[in-house]
Amino acid sequence: MSAAPGPDAPRILLLGGTAESARKAAECGLSVVNVDKPALFEPAAKEHCAQTHLIDYQDIGLVTALAGALHQHAPFTRVLSQTEAGPLVAGHLTTALGLAGNGVDVTRVLHDKLALRGLLNTRGLGRVAVRRGTTFEALRDFVAHHGGAVVKPTMGSGSLAVRKVRSPGEAAEARDWLTSFGVRDFMVEELLLGPEFSVESFSVAGRHSVLAITGKDNGDGVVALGHVVPAELSRDEASAIAALTCQMLDAVNLVEGPAHTEVILTADGPRVVESHNRCAGGHINELVAMVYGVDLERLTYRLALPAPVTVPEPAADGAAAVRFLTPPAGRVESVEGVDEARAADGVVRVEVKAEPGQDVRPLHWSEDRSGVVVVRAENSAAAARRARQVAELIEIRTKPSEQQPPTTMGELLAAADEVLDPFAQGQ
């Protein structure tokens, strides 16, 4: 159990998060007021929090009233969130309460993919052709002109409802899929060819430091199947990716904290896909801590302390990788090989969510993955290879299920108790 912070400890409002997140914040010497959705709350978080309030923090009117009353009673120094849904609301509350940190103007442009793309194109930071989705004919003509396209919601979560269109002949299928999946407000941008990476950075007073570049394996799809830290890049490639990321963070006026920026290295240089002012998901923060000795989440909480935060110079110690388990959709019949995988050389952790009798959904977004393998190795190639080999030891057998899984974006988000635009609720 965390030692209770003293009565004069800096006080933060933490939106969402896990028991581990609350523990880390308390161990940094902070008094934590946790606001979380009832369906997502982890009871173990309570022992690390001064207060816990279970409400839908994406209900803007309600959370603004609650945060205002709490702040008036005992002021916060920061509003923070490490969840997918939380940073936009945290920015709104930061501005509403007049606190230091990333305000709503910053978090809105990062949350709105079309707005971010428009800003980058205007600034000349790796231009990518884009337009708001309209008619089938417009989509077909865009694909024909640019040789391919990606369609995605203007506000997204975990690669949900992202689809590649590789030829004009696929445009009709993509249109039908968008309609059936319930995607109404979407954008179309040119299909970028090249390996994908993510940049894990940390900012203090508007100065940005790149701590790690992560190699990503998406296979032929858009949902990540694996990550490796550090990415296999030449010094020039890494420098170009880092420079573009810092220019992008300057353009959006990011003030402080972590950022997770996805980049594709094309033949014409790096291009930003999207960015988020939070730590990376998909166990990337864990990989960075293992390899570089820096926990970006803990570093974030230190921003709320009086002492200035110094970002350490990154120095890699070996490499680490994750591989996700993605069995065929259906009813799970059996899970085998888990003990063998855990005993394999270099394995740090194996987690399997799928159990016999449960249903595995089609791989629409990151929430549909069924488990993960985490490994360490002497270099990036060995780590990525070992993670794949260990994951292959685990066999999750499925059979067709009579239960109908969620089939639209709205149904999937509802199952995760998440909305993409909390400011549009009730409109």
Check residue 172 and give its pLDDT: 83
The pLDDT assigned to 14 comes to 98
Which class in CATH covers the domain with range 196-399? Answer: alpha beta
Residue 158 confidence class, pLDDT cut points 50, 70, 90? low
Instruction: Answer yes or no: is pLDDT of 181 > 80.
Output: no
Give the Cα separation of 91 and 97 in Å (integer).
10
CATH assignment of 11-100?
A: 3.40.50.20
**DSSP 8-state symbol, 49:** -
3-state secondary structure of 36: strand
Confidence at residue 220, expressed as pLDDT on a 0 to 100 scale? 82
Ordered by start, the domain boundaries in the chain are 11-100, 129-190, 196-399
User: What homologous superfamily does CATH list for 129-190?
Assistant: ATP-grasp fold, A domain (3.30.1490.20)
pLDDT at 396: 97
In order of 53, 102, 165, 365, 410, the CA distances from 270 in angstroms are 43, 26, 21, 24, 33
Distance CA 126, CA 120 (A): 7
Count Cβ atoms below 10 Å from residue 174 Cβ, excluding itself.
Answer: 23
Q: What are the strands, taking DSSP E only, across 19-92?
A: 31-36, 51-54, 78-80
pLDDT of residue 1 exceeding 60: no
What token pair was written down for 111?
A: 């949350």
Looking at residue 223, its pLDDT comes to: 87
Residue 426 has pLDDT above 50, yes or no: no
Residue 125's pLDDT band, with cuts at 50, 70 and 90, is: very high
pLDDT tens by residue, 4-61: 677 789 999 999 989 999 999 999 999 999 999 999 999 999 999 999 999 999 999 9
Mean pLDDT over the full length of the chain: 92
Residue 427 predicted with pLDDT over 60: no
Tens of pLDDT, residues 212-254: 999 999 988 888 999 999 999 999 999 999 999 999 999 999 9
Tell me which of 420 and 82 has the higher pLDDT.
Answer: 82
Rounded-to-integer distance, Cα 330 and Cα 345, Å: 31
What integer pLDDT is reported at residue 78 of this predicted model? 98
Contacts of 91 (CB under 8 A, 6+ apart): 101, 102, 103, 104, 105, 106, 107, 108, 277
Chain centroid to CA 5: how far? 30
With a cut of 80, say whether residue 406 has pLDDT above it. Answer: no
pTM of the complete model: 0.92
CA distance 174 to 172: 5
Burial (CB < 10 A; 0-12, 13-18, 19+), residue 6, is exposed
